[in-house]
Structure 1
Amino acid sequence: MNETVLTGTAEHFDVIRLWEEDDPDAVLAERAKEITAVATGGTTIDGAFLDKLPALRLVASFGVGYDKIDATAAAERGVIVTNTPGVLDNEVADTALGLLLMTVRELPQAERYLRAGSWNERPYPLTPATLHGRSMGILGLGRIGEAIAVRAQAFGVSVAYHNRSQKDVSYQYYPTLLELASAVDILMIVIPGGDETRHLVDAEILKALGPGGILINVARGTVVDEEALAEALSTKTILGAGLDVYEHEPAVHPALLTLDNAVLLPHVGSASIPTRNAMGQLVVDNLHNWFTHGTPLTPVQESTSLLQNPQS
């Protein structure tokens, strides 16, 4: 857990560092009636876990994505779930644009070429694509998606998007993902993971993106069918892909590791010390505000009904 969370919670709470316990299940069982809050950084929290803690009132998640937490099951048990939106938007948007530039201009490949000494023999080949003049389709125009859109336009890239519903923005809206993928040559994924979005980007979507298409994923690996993506890259159905997230991370699909038109990062979208500390502080602030004032700062959507009807 982030040190900011550890330090901040220690100031206000009796903290159990569960990962340091020899028998975490025994500790949970022994102190179940005392535990009123959980701070988590990626642990699966489902109905069975929640049932072990009858006094639980709040789950504070470190991160904007919370697909490993069954927020619906939590709401059914009267447990609020919070996440850390906003404080990481710019960092992830910067990473997304950096990853896009790396993929389009083959910058990691060029660096490997130099390090191998190949530049002494001949210049690196011209890249087949450029970023300027391209069109980007954003799958999920939330806070991070909008931050990416602003950056993309500064690079001369036009922006369109697909959401579950249209937003009051100037960007072109497409009611289906297939229509969006057919209309653009960069598909930027910024939607949450979970069952509803699993393999939303499949072979059909990749084919629609086309042979000049670039796929960038800074959201959740489960959104993309990695088998279909590996096939699309190897057959040049699309031009390239830049990935910061994976379906079974930290494991990466073996085929992706062999493909030179795939740029792969180890889930570092928000991984700077200042941003992670800001996320950690928001975890602490959610916990403190809830137990002091009865209102969390950033509840997830599934928890809003509990806040609107506190007696339910």
Structure 2
Amino acid sequence: MMSEPLALISVPMLAALEPAFQRGGLATARAWELTDDERARVRAIVHAGEFVLTPEFLGSLPALGLIACVSVGYDGVDVPWCRARGIEVTHAEGLNAEDVADHAIGLMLAAWRNLPALDRTVREGRWRQEERLNPQPSLGGRTLGVVGLGHIGAAVARRAEAMRLTVQWWGPREKEAPWPRAASVLELAKACDILVVAARAEPSNRGLISAEVIEAVGPKGLIVNVARGSLIDEEALVAALKDGRLWRAALDVFAQEPTPPERWADVPGAVLAPHTGGSSSEAIPLMVEQAIDNVRRFLAGKALASPVAA
């Protein structure tokens, strides 16, 4: 009798999703508790795309044929390496884009209007009526630049227009869009007051938001990142905030996650969130169900629902 195929939960962060896969009729195992018998039966991996899957680990799973990312991103998966070995890769394309865009706008507003500091002022009893007359810059008439005009970037751009912002964008590939495309990410940074990073992380764009780009956004500008920490030179960002060469930053993602709290202890103008942009009660079930559907389809020999584009 053929052994039952297994869907492998790749990281402890996803352990809470295991019952959903089991209810979906899939037998599961956990990568951090994997036995030799289970290793031979693993046909699919259920994965969060930001975590790296090494060739050594993947090569130790002789029956592996699918990596089903519950996340939109899949930057921890070497897709060409997998394809060369007949391993398919899927992801949750577009399912949480509206929620991530909401989060990006929330971060933008929190940083632009300095809301965390104002909250502390009230809670700590430092409210002074005369400080209400200290002017805060308005958003109206500012320029927002979007790096990466995929599902998330376009959703951010639509929201920004409704907030009286002028929108530009840049991405490595031309596409039809109602907003003008800058000649480069540097030119976009020079033109905008707020730079929102929403691009898909790839080896080719590591450190895309470089010290030069950060400098171009400038001492009156704001950078928001809801993509991946790898896209920003974090050392340069921290230095620019400390030196006043960048006004503010609002980050949901970091070079290391969880990011060390001491790294940000003395960094002014930073609003930080723990990589929760797409974690809504509506989006997560959709993303999990799509991953379950992809695993079922793979095991049944059917076309996958959301394969990573070639």
TM-score when normalising by structure 1: 0.89
Provide, for residues 61-106 of structure 1, a one-character-per-residue CA deviation record: whole Å limited to 9, x for no partner: 1111111111121111100011112210110000000000001000
Q: CA deviation at 1:128?
A: 3.8
Provide, for residues 93-139 of structure 1, a one-character-per-residue CA deviation record: whole Å limited to 9, x for no partner: 00000000001000111001111110157545735422221101110
Question: How many percent of aligned residue pairs carry the same amino acid?
Answer: 33
Tell me, yes or no, if structure 1 residue 178 matches structure 2 residue 189. Answer: no
Tell me, yes or no, if structure 1 residue 211 matches structure 2 residue 219. Answer: yes
Gap change, CA 1:252 and 1:171, over 3 Å in 2: farther
Q: Which amino acid aligns with 2:46?
A: A
* Separation of aligned partners in 1, 2:260 and 2:224: 15
Alpha-carbon RMSD across the aligned residues, in angstroms, is 1.9
Q: Which amino acid aligns with 2:42?
A: I
* Separation of aligned partners in 2, 1:147 and 1:127: 30
* Separation of aligned partners in 1, 2:37 and 2:135: 61
Greater RCO (CA < 8 Å, at least 6 residues apart): 1
* Separation of aligned partners in 1, 2:28 and 2:297: 17
Runs ≥4 in structure 1, deviation > 6 angstroms?
Answer: none
* Separation of aligned partners in 2, 1:125 and 1:70: 53
**Secondary structure of 1:44's match?**
coil
Aligned equivalent of 2:244: 236
* Separation of aligned partners in 2, 1:145 and 1:125: 35
Runs (5+) with no aligned partner, structure 2: 1-13
Q: 1:188 aligns with which of 193, 196, 199?
A: 196
Q: 2:274 aligns with which of 263, 266, 280?
A: 266
Gap change, CA 1:166 and 1:75, over 3 Å in 2: same
Q: How does 1:42-191 map onto structure 2 within 5 Å?
A: 42=49, 43-119=51-127, 123=131, 126-191=134-199
* Separation of aligned partners in 2, 1:124 and 1:47: 57
Provide, for residues 4-24 of structure 1, a one-character-per-residue CA deviation record: whole Å limited to 9, x for no partner: 5532344322211334x2xx3
Aligned equivalent of 2:42: 35
* Separation of aligned partners in 2, 1:79 and 1:125: 61
**Secondary structure of 2:223's match?**
strand
**Secondary structure of 1:145's match?**
helix
Answer yes or no: is the 8 Å Cα contact 1:60–1:82 preserved in 2: yes
**Secondary structure of 2:42's match?**
coil
Gap change, CA 1:195 and 1:127, over 3 Å in 2: farther
Q: How does 1:8-19 map onto structure 2 within 5 Å?
A: 8-19=21-32
Gap change, CA 1:295 and 1:156, over 3 Å in 2: same
Runs (5+) with no aligned partner, structure 1: 305-312
Provide, for residues 271-297 of structure 1, a one-character-per-residue CA deviation record: whole Å limited to 9, x for no partner: 222221221111111112222352111
* Separation of aligned partners in 1, 2:30 and 2:239: 43
* Separation of aligned partners in 2, 1:125 and 1:31: 66
Q: CA deviation at 1:142?
A: 0.4
**Secondary structure of 1:16's match?**
strand
Aligned equivalent of 1:278: 286
Aligned equivalent of 2:4: none
Q: CA deviation at 1:206?
A: 1.1
* Separation of aligned partners in 1, 2:15 and 2:163: 34
Q: Which amino acid aligns with 1:143?
A: H
Q: CA deviation at 1:59?
A: 0.7
TM-score when normalising by structure 2: 0.89
* Separation of aligned partners in 2, 1:122 and 1:257: 28
Provide, for residues 198-233 of structure 1, a one-character-per-residue CA deviation record: whole Å limited to 9, x for no partner: 111111111111221110000101111111111111
Q: Which amino acid aligns with 2:44?
A: A
